[in-house]
């Protein structure tokens, strides 16, 4: 979703801003723009529909000087993606320029009021309304820009991260946030601004995370000045980034997605590091230890998440119910937040989010918290909004995930949920000591088993060629692998634009069986597990109707392999851990189908990595 970059210092801002925009491309966007202010107070804005490279082409040969600037990648909400709607936006007098992430919900009312005061609008955006409101407020009461921003923001309903330039102050940048993240990078005599740390990391590892309703004034040569919208001064808390530049680069892989798929033996090990101890035959998760009684006494666990994280939640449901015998409900955050859910004090709400910024999940936990629920979050981005709002939690520690289609974050989320389920189960003694120990040892073997699975990469590339012309695809699984059928179908949809559906295998009879033909490949996840015989029958049903089956089986399998058209294998493991292996094959399958179809794997059309609007 939209990305923000800013710079205040002595260097030429343009190359820093453009590089920053490239770093943010992974978030998904459809237009881009930059505003540059030079010490004489000349402000230049360049914008383009399309990619950052299109913006560079527009700015080529033009005046790109200026030691202060703001830049933006836009993911359209109000108004189609075009040059006019792209940010930055000028105010009426062209004295001010703004970039904005988020949505101003009451923009229509504000716009009407401003039109009555003679303001006109060039774009269809809510952002232009905001900068006009700021200018109107500033001029009406002859205020300083900061005061005008504070007053204007106090009238705004919605979410925002904004950065503003003023021709009258060519050494100062003002930024503010509510509901959309904003990070200030603190360099030597210079400041950087980012909607996340990726545009900042190559210049400094010192950052300040702005809190909701805070405004920062960044002036070259001065300390950052932070206040709330109500003008209460705040002391900036400078933190050290853990992010490194190499984590943001492809490291020889053609796409971030492939790099991230291949990182999984390491990222799963990282998610378990310091947590799984095979010598002691124990698991340790600090967020669990601190709240052990609460978990043991929980009457219900509600998992809330979106997209791929929601699928991880489903796997978690199977594990928590099996090991801890606690009823689990898995909710789409967007539905949960608008229902009137009954939440008891002994319920636990687990929020799962790679980015830690997904607007619906954030709102869902705000609602659950207000109703007295205890919030435990499983997130990847350290210091992001969801973990900060939670009572406790556990990071997945997979490093930055750049590919829009989530891969390594998913497997780590599943791994953390299984560890958590084991811990609750052991504490409640619903999971026997013997089984617990066996699972601890098997968890430790998972990274190597993922490496084994990855060896099928070339074969999957060949299978992908067979599937490239499919218009529809069905994914079937049962038990722990039903969520993997959903996830496999989502991966294919996201990056290859082939329509795909995931289904519980036995449900096929209640509808999708009508679609079976040679033209629609059916992917069946059929490892040796408790429902093996059942799924074998499901495959027979498909074959009887001349369907083409790609099966995922356990190494050494004969029965399913014999009747399937294509076979991929996973090593033998505990049933609850099979998703960690089967999903890798489906990630690779989706990846190779997308590549062979010529799709933009890392930045699929219309999708955003971090969905910060509802
Ligand atoms: C977007 C991303 C998905 C992700 C979902 C939830 O749709 O493209 O990959 O699963 O948001 O994001 P979260 O950061 O909350 O896990």
Q: What is the mean pLDDT of residues 5-9?
A: 97
What residues does ligand 1 touch, defined as CB less than 6 Å away? 306-309, 353-355, 358, 361, 404, 406, 607, 609-611
153: Cβ–Cβ under 8 A, 6 or more apart, which residues?
Answer: 160, 176, 178, 213, 215, 229
What token pair was written down for 149? 């921003």
Asked if residue 333 has pLDDT above 90, the reply is yes
Q: For residue 365, what pLDDT is reported?
A: 95
Q: For residue 266, what pLDDT is reported?
A: 95
State the CB neighbour count (10 A cutoff) for residue 540.
13
Asked if residue 314 has pLDDT above 80, the reply is yes
Asked if residue 159 has pLDDT above 90, the reply is no
* Cα separation, 539 vs 550, whole angstroms: 10
Q: How far is the CA of 371 from the centre of ligand 1 (A)?
A: 25
Which ligand 1 atom is at minimum distance from the Cα of 406? 9
Q: How far is the CA of 229 from the centre of ligand 1 (A)?
A: 30
Ligand 1 atom 8, closest CA: 609
| Environment class of 181 (CB within 10 Å of its CB; exposed 0-12, middle 13-18, buried 19+) | buried
446 near 419, Cβ under 8 Å? no
Q: How far is the CA of 354 from the centre of ligand 1 (A)?
A: 7
Q: How far is the CA of 400 from the centre of ligand 1 (A)?
A: 13
Q: How far is the CA of 456 from the centre of ligand 1 (A)?
A: 27
Q: How far is the CA of 353 from the centre of ligand 1 (A)?
A: 7
Q: What is the mean pLDDT of residues 520-529?
A: 95
Rounded to two decimals, the pTM is 0.84
* Cα separation, 480 vs 575, whole angstroms: 7
Q: For residue 76, what pLDDT is reported?
A: 85
Higher-scoring residue by pLDDT: 244, 350:
350
DSSP per-residue letters across 251-306 = TT-SSHHHHHHHTHHHHHHHHHTTTEETTTTEE--HHHHTTHHHHHH-SEEEEEE-
Asked if residue 544 has pLDDT above 80, the reply is yes
Q: How far is the CA of 411 from the centre of ligand 1 (A)?
A: 14
DSSP per-residue letters across 50-66 = S-HHHHHHHHTTS----
Tell me the percentage of the chain whose pLDDT exceeds 90: 86
Ligand 1 atom 13, closest CA: 353
Asked if residue 614 has pLDDT above 80, the reply is no
CA atoms within 13 A on the CB side of 596: 20
Asked if residue 550 has pLDDT above 90, the reply is yes
Segment 404-454, tens digit of pLDDT? 999 999 999 999 999 999 999 999 999 999 999 999 999 999 999 999 999
Q: How close are the terminal C-alpha atoms of the chain, in Å?
A: 11
C-alpha Rg value of the chain to the nearest Å: 26
Mean pLDDT over the full length of the chain: 94
- Mutational test site, ligand 1, from 29, 196, 308, max ligand atoms within 8 Å of CB: 308
Ligand 1 atom 1, closest CA: 609
Residues present in the chain in total = 614
Q: For residue 374, what pLDDT is reported?
A: 96
Task: Identify the sign of the CA torsion 304, 310, 312, 315.
Answer: positive
Higher-scoring residue by pLDDT: 517, 78:
517
Which ligand 1 atom is at minimum distance from the Cα of 355? 14
364 near 333, Cβ under 8 Å? yes
Q: For residue 340, what pLDDT is reported?
A: 87
pLDDT class of 608 with cuts at 50, 70, 90: confident
Which ligand 1 atom is at minimum distance from the Cα of 386? 15
Q: For residue 250, what pLDDT is reported?
A: 84
Torsion angle in degrees (nearest 10) through CA of 400, 404, 409, 414: 170
pLDDT class of 398 with cuts at 50, 70, 90: very high
Q: For residue 382, what pLDDT is reported?
A: 87
- Mutational test site, ligand 1, from 353, 609, 612, 613, max ligand atoms within 8 Å of CB: 609
pLDDT class of 247 with cuts at 50, 70, 90: confident
Q: How far is the CA of 148 from the centre of ligand 1 (A)?
A: 35
Which ligand 1 atom is at minimum distance from the Cα of 306? 6
pLDDT class of 27 with cuts at 50, 70, 90: confident
369 near 342, Cβ under 8 Å? no
Tell me the percentage of the chain whose pLDDT exceeds 70: 100
Instruction: Say which range, 23-27, 182-186, 595-599, has the weakest mean pLDDT.
Output: 23-27
521 near 533, Cβ under 8 Å? no
Asked if residue 605 has pLDDT above 90, the reply is no
Q: Enumerate the active-site residues.
A: 2, 609
Ligand 1 atom 2, closest CA: 609
- Mutational test site, ligand 1, from 358, 379, 390, max ligand atoms within 8 Å of CB: 358
- Mutational test site, ligand 1, from 398, 406, 414, max ligand atoms within 8 Å of CB: 406
Which ligand 1 atom is at minimum distance from the Cα of 333? 15
């Amino acid at each position: 979703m939209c990305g923000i970059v800013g710079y205040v210092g002595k260097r030429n801002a343009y190359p820093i801003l453009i590089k920053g925009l490239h770093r943010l491309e992974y978030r998904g966007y459809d237009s881009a723009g930059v505003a540059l202010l030079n010490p004489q107070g000349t402000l230049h804005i360049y914008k383009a529909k399309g990619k950052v490279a299109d913006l560079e082409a527009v700015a080529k040969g033009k005046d790109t000087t200026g030691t202060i600037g703001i830049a933006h990648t836009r993911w359209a909400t109000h108004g189609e993606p075009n040059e006019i709607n792209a940010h930055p936006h000028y105010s009426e007098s062209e004295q001010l320029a703004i970039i904005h992430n988020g949505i101003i919900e009451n923009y229509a009312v504000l716009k009407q009021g401003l039109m009555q005061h003679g303001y006109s609008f060039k774009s269809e955006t809510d952002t232009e309304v905001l900068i006009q409101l700021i200018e109107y407020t500033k001029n009406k009461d002859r205020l300083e820009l900061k005061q005008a921003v504070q007053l204007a923001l106090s009238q705004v309903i919605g979410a925002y991260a904004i950065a503003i330039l003023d021709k009258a102050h060519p050494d100062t940048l003002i930024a503010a946030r509510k509901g959309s993240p904003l990070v200030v990078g603190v360099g030597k005599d210079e400041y950087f601004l980012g909607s996340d740390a990726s545009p900042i990391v190559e210049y400094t590892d010192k950052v300040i995370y702005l809190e909701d309703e805070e405004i920062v004034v960044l002036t070259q040569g001065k300390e950052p000045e932070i206040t709330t919208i109500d003008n209460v001064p705040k002391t900036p808390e400078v933190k050290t980034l853990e992010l490194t530049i190499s984590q943001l680069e492809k490291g020889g892989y053609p796409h971030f997605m492939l790099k991230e798929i291949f990182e999984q033996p390491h990222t799963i090990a990282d998610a378990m590091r310091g947590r799984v101890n095979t010598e002691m035959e124990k698991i340790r998760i600090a967020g669990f230890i601190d709240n052990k009684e609460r978990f043991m006494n929980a009457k219900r666990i509600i998992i809330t998440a979106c997209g791929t994280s929601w699928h991880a939640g489903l796997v978690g449901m199977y594990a928590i119910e099996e090991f801890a015998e606690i009823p689990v409900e898995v909710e789409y955050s967007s539905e949960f937040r608008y229902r009137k859910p009954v939440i008891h004090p002994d319920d636990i709400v687990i929020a799962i989010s790679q980015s830690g910024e997904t607007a619906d999940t954030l709102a869902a936990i705000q609602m659950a918290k207000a109703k007295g629920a205890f919030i435990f979050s499983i997130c990847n981005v350290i210091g992001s909004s969801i973990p900060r709002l939670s009572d406790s939690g556990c990071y997945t520690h997979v490093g930055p995930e750049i590919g829009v289609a989530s891969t390594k974050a998913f497997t780590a989320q599943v791994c953390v949920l299984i560890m958590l389920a084991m811990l609750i189960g052991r504490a409640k003694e619903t999971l026997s000591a013997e089984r617990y120990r066996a699972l601890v040892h098997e968890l430790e073997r998972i990274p190597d088993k993922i490496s084994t699975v990855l060896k099928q990469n070339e074969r999957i590339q060949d299978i992908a060629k067979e599937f490239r012309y499919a218009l529809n695809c069905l994914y079937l699984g049962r038990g722990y692998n039903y969520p993997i059928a959903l996830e496999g179908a989502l991966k294919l949809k996201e990056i290859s634009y082939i329509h795909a559906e995931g289904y519980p295998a036995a449900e096929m009879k209640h509808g999708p069986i009508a679609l079976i033909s040679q033209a629609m490949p059916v992917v069946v996840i059929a490892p040796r597990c408790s429902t093996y015989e059942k799924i074998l029958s499901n495959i027979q049903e498909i074959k009887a109707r001349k369907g083409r089956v790609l099966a995922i089986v356990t190494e050494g399998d004969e029965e399913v392999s014999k009747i399937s058209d294509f076979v991929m294998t996973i090593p033998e493991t505990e049933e609850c851990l099979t998703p960690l292996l089967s999903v890798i094959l489906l990630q690779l399958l989706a990846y190779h189908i997308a590549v062979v179809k010529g799709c933009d794997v890392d930045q699929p059309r219309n999708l955003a990595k971090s969905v910060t609007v509802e």
